[in-house]
Structure 1
Amino acid sequence: MSLSDITIASKLPSAIPSLPSHKVVNSKNLVQKRYGKSAAIRVSQNLKLVCNSVTWGNDSGSVELDVPFPSDYSELIEQARKAAALALEGDKQLMEIEFPTAGLESVPGDGEGGIEMTGSMQLIRDFCDRFIIPEKSTRTRIFFPEANEVKFARNSAFEGASFKLDYLTKPSFFEDFGFSEKVKMTDRVKPEDELFLVAYPYFNVNEMLVVEELYKDAVMNTNRKLIIFNGELDRIRTGYYPPFFYPKLAALSKTLFPKMETVYYIHNFKGRNGGVLFRCYPGPWKVLRKVRNKYICLHQQEAMPSLKEVALDILPSA
């Protein structure tokens, strides 16, 4: 499938509406319901969500490999958009976009879980507004972890949007014990769907298993594309879930992940030998360190290094 068939927003010379055209979560008057529990929501002030005019259509032939570390979230989303567009042009079908949402220099856990997911939700809306042309918005299905997230999205970041919003799992009576009702993905997908975007599938261990089902049943051997957005897949890569207790989840590292292209990625390392692992497709994987407000490259390679390798070998020896 050609890039034009995917209908990326980068082909549009006109300006994309700025974020204020849809509702922004306000920390003073909005309480989010997540998984049956109420929590006051505030969005990190680090999120600078300003959609600018997109003029990508005429320069898709030039590939920038030496992409600098982004200065804010607006630049980050634009880098991710270009990376995803190039990946689609390269016929990549399964893609990952991963970066922290509590601040460009933050690590998972720096922000409260609900706040981080809310930040991801708004950044996903920004990404979709830049990436998908309006004519194809109804052919784009965005999967959130469960039905409450869909309801929240429709009343906040995705208010007024024509994207199809859906969910991966359905809460059950035993939700507090870690059980949820299985949602058959073939029943959720419609024939006209062309692009799937899965939003932060990490709250429940079953969510990534459902994503694998979505890929196998609705994407593989088709012209459809699937993007996993802030799925914290490093939890699976690093063995955070013990294979003995989560064999199906651990198996994804050998079954699903090898088929996936990580098109945009930021992972920060704190401490004495701190730094960041950064990748913007189709460029190499880089290990950077911030020196006097500038990022310098300490190491780069074509394949993704393990987080352990970066933390214990590359950064200490730099």
Structure 2
Amino acid sequence: TAATNRHQQQPPTATNRQAQEAAKAALKDGAPMVEVEFPSTSLSAVSGDGEGQNEMNASMGFLRQFLTGFRSRAATTRVFFPDNVELAVAQRGQTEDPAAGRKPLEPQFADATFQLGYLTQQNAAWAMFGFYKSGFDPVQMIKDTDDLLVIAYPSFNPREELSAVYELHDKVARARGMPIIMFNGELDRVRGGYYASLFFPEIAKDRCACAHAPSPSHFPLHQFGRELFPTMITAYYIHNFKGTRPATLFRCYPGPWQLLRRDRQGNVADVLWSSEKMPSLKEVALEILPAVWR
């Protein structure tokens, strides 16, 4: 089947418009949580192709473009950045640091009319040793006038950031019927079991049943994957597979999931497979791709 379907993946200039419309359609259909996920550095890239900080910078730029589709509700939309440091970068930019592999970045949200917040509060001294915990509660940032939450790329420190997202959902959003958009959250790591339950009980897809698993009373957020995924609509999604069978798993809501073949130049050639149900990445790589690639 030729890739002429109206839901086919578009060039970079159209990606954000397509993602905006897909997210709006999911919100209109009553989704309590909406996922938007695509490569930040280029549409043919995979996660990890770029340095972490630069991928976050790229996601920030795409987020700014994505939010233009929601300008009419900027006064009641709160955008949560991963932490207070990233919010400062969004508002003031950053200088180049070759030693850290960091490129300069102009302020992306200095003139934002959207309401801004952050999921975690980073203490620079403790962060050097990998400790991010604090008494900060992001729920306190939500105002009575907020009616939409947008979570910006919560993947740098997932244990704290995704746990904070669950807190927002559990303590405020669910009771108020306030939807949440997850923007480039790399949630496939949770779906695929990348975060082991024993070490990441707050966000693991399934709770660890082993005798040494931490007590639920100490880790009340183990429900993240189990409770939120069933209610989530993945509105816009691009995941690339490289190697001898280059392909892209793609979805633009309310259209179906599609596996698109890529040619040697990285362009979409045709649709290999389609389904109304989201497959796992493991299923695509080991079962679907070998079966449909000719």
Q: Does 1:315 align with 2:255?
A: no
Q: Secondary structure at the match of 2:176?
A: coil
Q: Does 1:87 align with 2:59?
A: no
2:27–2:34 contact (8 Å) kept in structure 1:
no
- Aligned positions of 1:19-38 closer than 5 A: none
Identity %, equivalent residues: 43
For 1:193, the aligned partner's letter is: D
Q: Does 1:142 align with 2:95?
A: no
- Please list the CA deviations of residues 19-63 of structure 1 after superposition, one character each: whole Å capped at 9, or x if unmatched: xxxxxxxxxxxxxxxxxxxxxxxxxxxxxxxxxxxxxxxxxxxxx
Q: How many residues align?
A: 252
Query: Could you list the runs of 4 or more consecutive aligned residues of structure 1 that deviate by over 6 angstroms after TM superposition?
Result: none
Q: Which residue of 1 aligns with 2:139?
A: 186
Residues of 1 paired with 2:277 and 2:32: CA distance? Answer: 18
For 1:67, the aligned partner's letter is: H
Report how far residue 121 of structure 1 moved: 0.6
2:118–2:138 contact (8 Å) kept in structure 1:
no
1:195–1:225 contact (8 Å) kept in structure 2:
yes
Report how far residue 248 of structure 1 moved: 1.8
The more displaced of 269-278 and 177-186 is: 177-186
2:120–2:138 contact (8 Å) kept in structure 1:
no
The more displaced of 105-114 and 294-303 is: 294-303
Higher relative contact order (CA 8 A, sep 6+): 2
Residues of 2 paired with 1:105 and 1:149: CA distance? Answer: 26
Relative distance call for 1:221 and 1:109 in structure 2 (3 A) is same
Q: Does 1:244 align with 2:198?
A: yes
Report how far residue 268 of structure 1 moved: 0.3
1:69–1:295 contact (8 Å) kept in structure 2:
no
Unpaired stretches in structure 2, ≥5 consecutive residues:
93-106, 206-223
- Aligned positions of 1:1-318 closer than 5 A: 66-72=6-12, 74-133=13-72, 136-155=73-92, 156-172=107-123, 173-180=125-132, 181-204=134-157, 205-251=159-205, 252-291=224-263, 293-318=267-292
Report how far residue 182 of structure 1 moved: 4.3
1:65–1:282 contact (8 Å) kept in structure 2:
no
Residues of 2 paired with 1:284 and 1:93: CA distance? Answer: 20
For 1:162, the aligned partner's letter is: T
Residues of 2 paired with 1:294 and 1:224: CA distance? Answer: 36
Residues of 1 paired with 2:136 and 2:277: CA distance? Answer: 35
Structure 2 length normalisation: TM-score? 0.82
Residues of 2 paired with 1:177 and 1:258: CA distance? Answer: 35
Report how far residue 294 of structure 1 moved: 3.5
Report how far residue 188 of structure 1 moved: 1.3
Unpaired stretches in structure 1, ≥5 consecutive residues:
1-63
